[in-house]
Structure 1
Amino acid sequence: MYCYTCGSDEQHRPLTAAEKAWLKNRTGRKSVEEFFMCSKPGCRNLRTGFNQHPFDPVIRLPQPD
């Protein structure tokens, strides 16, 4: 999938349960099943399958502890 932040096609993966919980809390959405995270090291940009830039400003998942 294309990553708006990286400016190129990058691998994306579905969110883990902990990441979904964080995103729900951050956005107030009830469902975040449609989101994917860029797998390029350091990026962590979020997108959906159809919308490469769903948030303005960009939301990135925080680095795991």
Structure 2
Amino acid sequence: MRDQKMYCYTCGTDELHRRLTANEKAWLKNRTVRKTVEEFFVCKAPGCRNLRTGFQKRPFDGPLRLPDDL
């Protein structure tokens, strides 16, 4: 998997993002009740872990971050 530089609205800058792992996808499906979460990326900035899609910087009403223990 290749990291991509994308805008992170919680960091306020362009940051590296990566695709979700299988465990992270399962967590997000349960959290959002979506059928598919293949389009999501997670910010790799230290302490951020904010979620976004490839096209939407803000796919949720507020920030949604992956828990650190996933």
Q: TM-score, normalised by structure 2?
A: 0.90
Q: TM-score, normalised by structure 1?
A: 0.96
Partner of 1:18: 23
> Please, which of 29, 49, 56 is the counterpart of residue 54 of structure 2?
49
Q: Which amino acid aligns with 2:39?
A: E
What's the C-alpha RMSD, in Å, of the aligned pairs? 0.9
Q: Percent identity?
A: 72
Structure 1: gaps of 5 or more residues: none
Structure 1 segments, 4+ long, off by >6 Å, are none
2 CA distance for matches of 1:7 and 1:57? 14
> Please, which of 7, 13, 36 is the counterpart of residue 12 of structure 2?
7
Structure 2: gaps of 5 or more residues: 1-5
2 CA distance for matches of 1:64 and 1:41? 14
The count of corresponding residues between Structure 1 and Structure 2 is 65
